[in-house]
Amino acid sequence: MFRKISNIIVKQLLTFSGAITGIAILFISIFLFKEGLGLFKSPAIEEGYALFVNSKNIVDNLTAKEIKEVFDSEITNWHDLGGEDIEIRIFRIDEIFQHYSDEELGEDYQFLPEKLAEVIREDESIVAFVPVEFAPAQHVGVKELMVDNITFSDYFAGKEWLPTATPAPLFGTLPMFLGTLLVSLVAILFALPLGLGVAIYLSELAQERIRKFLKPIIELLAGIPSVVYGFFGLVVLAPLVQKTFNLPVGETALTGSLILAIMALPTIISVAEDAMRNTPRAMREASLALGATHWQTIYKVVIPYAKSGISAAVVLGIGRAIGETMAVLMVTGNAALIPTSLFDPVRTIPATIAAELGEAPTGGAHYQALFLLGCVLFLITMVISITAEMISKKKNYKDM
Amino acid sequence: MNKKTKQKLAFLLFRLFSIIIVGILLSILGFIAFNGIKVINWEFLSTMPKEGMTEGGIFPAIVGTCYLIIGSLIFAVPLGVMSAIYTVEYAGNGKIVRFIRMMTNNLASIPSIVFGLFGMALFVTKLGFGDSILAGSLTLGLLTLPIIIRTSEEALKAVPESYRTGSYALGASKLQTIRKVVLPCAMPNILTGIILSVSRVSGETAPILFTVAAYFLPNLPDSIFSQAMALPYHLYVLATSGTDIEASRPMAYGTALVLVVIVLFFNLTATILRQRLSRKLKNK
């Protein structure tokens, strides 16, 4: 009886463990998306603050970008925001002390909202940036300016990433997407021909003894921690790039690509070599019997045969490059700007998360924006992993 | 150009590539070893950092990494092995297995920083563990789960079917067979997976950034709810944000070497163990 029950319990436990990876992925996506999508529900203004204008002002709401431009004095007239032709006057909370004494504001600043309302009522051109606790909302002649929520296009097509700007932080992730794309693609451009060359050498040319010696070494190198590669990139590669191309700084997109290429090489070599070695002996011999040289056999028979394995290697390499965090964080200079050349500092998606999450207040818009980047990264790598799987499956059909 | 010359040129190029690549990879190791070996001595390995981490040792980082290894294994090994037992011994060969395998592959492909985000959201914030060894170990355990599952699956599959049928014939139940026959047989191979995940845990930085790692701690961690220093994060700190980066360079080289030696040691052990085992199996 007892044995039966314990058998059932063990079986349930095993079933649960079998599902653990699925559960983990489910949990990861739930937590990531829950935090990340919260961003689109929060208004595009620094948390705990609000904007107030004179109630005669016909402007009702602003976007994050408009707020930023107003406070950076790039927009100076209400006319540009759909209002009347009046110059904008920016009013920050500390200016209130120039108008009223401490006594007038009260011991705990309890009269501050009232006095704020007075100031705002007098001036049609004013826009006041005020903490919510002192908001003069109930007073006559004052109107709260609605701030639009952050939108999809603000986030995915925005060109400026200023997560700590006041009063309106900007979360445009285009620089990061382009940075990640640039660094990863260039890395693959370096790594692919080199990796394929080495794979061909190992699988077709090298003596068995050399192959047996080199392949484990190359696979071993895939295990070196990325932070060590990053450190090497920082102390050796970055100065080298700086000197060679005569640049002001060595931490550039190119440096990141080079270090990523070095890191992706073991994966590419190992997977591509396995694929090439799987070419049936009969196919090679048939080709050689037809008078083809060894090289012709390689590029007309072996490589086409191993095409899906090689593609899988490339896809896996790209996946590793896109998700790589520490090495890239340490060598690319981390400027959240849209890269114009390989010699610009760039910042990738994972590097942004790693660099900023520690400073972002939990649950705030910045925190959510970083989680959303995590979601995007998660989705990209999911797609890549499934693609790689489909590519290597396709081969099996061909075999039959 | 005739086809013979073409072939010669192509092959020359590939030989050259191979020499370059292997050269680059080995020179990275050589560079770290050459610069690191100068700082490494007993004091470096056994004392606390001093003078704003420009002198002294890396003892707390080594201890922290050990805690994280142990913590993540406690979590990942039973779960991973049980998951493999389920897939190989119970689930048959249908859609469920394909689904499980796909999920395992997907989990393996998730970038480590995403694990860090998840660990922070679930373990640190939601479950309230705070920045702690517990949160870090759970996050790292999740990261190594696919490694353990895959190697354990292979190990279980390598156990000959006749062992199982023999055990059944003696009247053993399925569970008894698994516990007394299949698992002991598969253990050495499962061990290689565990060793590989130890190597992975010692080297990962991104998942521990927000779940456990501390810039500097004056004392060793005293419970699973305290923060800890760890080797890879310590290297990152020394390399990029130490109090005096130039002065802490030697410390960084030393840390990098210790890290590389640990990781390569475990990887090498796993490789050798695996080769020995497969040779043994062939001989049978």
CATH number at residue A240: 1.10.3720.10
From chain B, the residues in CB contact with A235 under 8 A are: 239, 249
Q: How confident is the model at residue A397 (pLDDT cuts 50, 70, 90)?
A: very low
Domain assignment of residue A12, yes or no: no
Task: Let me know whether A298 and A229 are in one domain.
Answer: yes
Domain assignment of residue B109, yes or no: yes
Beta-bridge mates of residue A52: A128, A144
Domain assignment of residue A33, yes or no: no
From chain B, the residues in CB contact with A194 under 8 A are: 17, 20-21
Domain assignment of residue A153, yes or no: no
Domain assignment of residue B150, yes or no: yes
Task: Let me know whether A53 and A126 are in one domain.
Answer: yes
CATH number assigned to the domain comprising residue A136:
3.40.190.10
Reading the block at residue B125, the tokens are 């914030």
Residue of higher predicted confidence among A187 and A157: A187
For the cut 50, the answer to whether the pLDDT of residue B230 exceeds it is: yes
Domain assignment of residue A125, yes or no: yes
CATH number assigned to the domain comprising residue B259:
1.10.3720.10
Task: Let me know whether A273 and A199 are in one domain.
Answer: yes
Domain assignment of residue B220, yes or no: yes
Peptide bond into A167 cis (omega under 30): yes
For the cut 60, the answer to whether the pLDDT of residue B7 exceeds it is: yes
Domain assignment of residue B3, yes or no: no
Residue B103 to residue A22, Cβ atoms within 8 A: yes
Task: Let me know whether A223 and A257 are in one domain.
Answer: yes
Give the model confidence (pLDDT) of A119-144 as tens digits. 888 787 888 888 877 777 677 778 88
Q: Where are the beta strands (DSSP E) in chain A?
A: 49-54, 61-62, 89-92, 126-131, 142-147, 161-162, 170-171
> A318 lies in which domain range?
174-399
Task: Let me know whether A125 and A206 are in one domain.
Answer: no
Q: How confident is the model at residue B1 (pLDDT cuts 50, 70, 90)?
A: low
How many structural domains is chain A composed of? 2
Domain assignment of residue A39, yes or no: no
Domain assignment of residue B48, yes or no: no
CA–CA min distance A201, chain B (Å)? 6
> B259 lies in which domain range?
58-283
Domain assignment of residue A14, yes or no: no
**ipTM, 2 dp:** 0.91
Domain assignment of residue B261, yes or no: yes
Task: Let me know whether A58 and A131 are in one domain.
Answer: yes
How many structural domains is chain B composed of? 1
Range A40-65 average pLDDT: 79
Give the Cα separation of A331 and A347 in Å (integer). 10
Domain assignment of residue B217, yes or no: yes
Element (H, E) at B55: strand B55-56
Give the Cα separation of A247 and A236 in Å (integer). 15
How many percent of chain A have pLDDT more than 70? 98
Point out the residue among B14, B175, B264 whose CB comes nearest to the CB of A201: B14
Domain assignment of residue B171, yes or no: yes
Domain assignment of residue A358, yes or no: yes
The pTM assigned to this predicted structure is 0.88
Reading the block at residue B119, the tokens are 């660990």
For residues B197 and B73, is the Cβ–Cβ distance under 8 A? yes
Reading the block at residue A124, the tokens are 């049609």
Task: Let me know whether A144 and A184 are in one domain.
Answer: no
Mind giving me the DSSP string for A332-367? SB---S---STTS-B--HHHHHHHHTTTSPTTSHHH
Task: Let me know whether A383 and A300 are in one domain.
Answer: yes
Point out the residue among B10, B173, B235 whose CB comes nearest to the CB of A295: B10
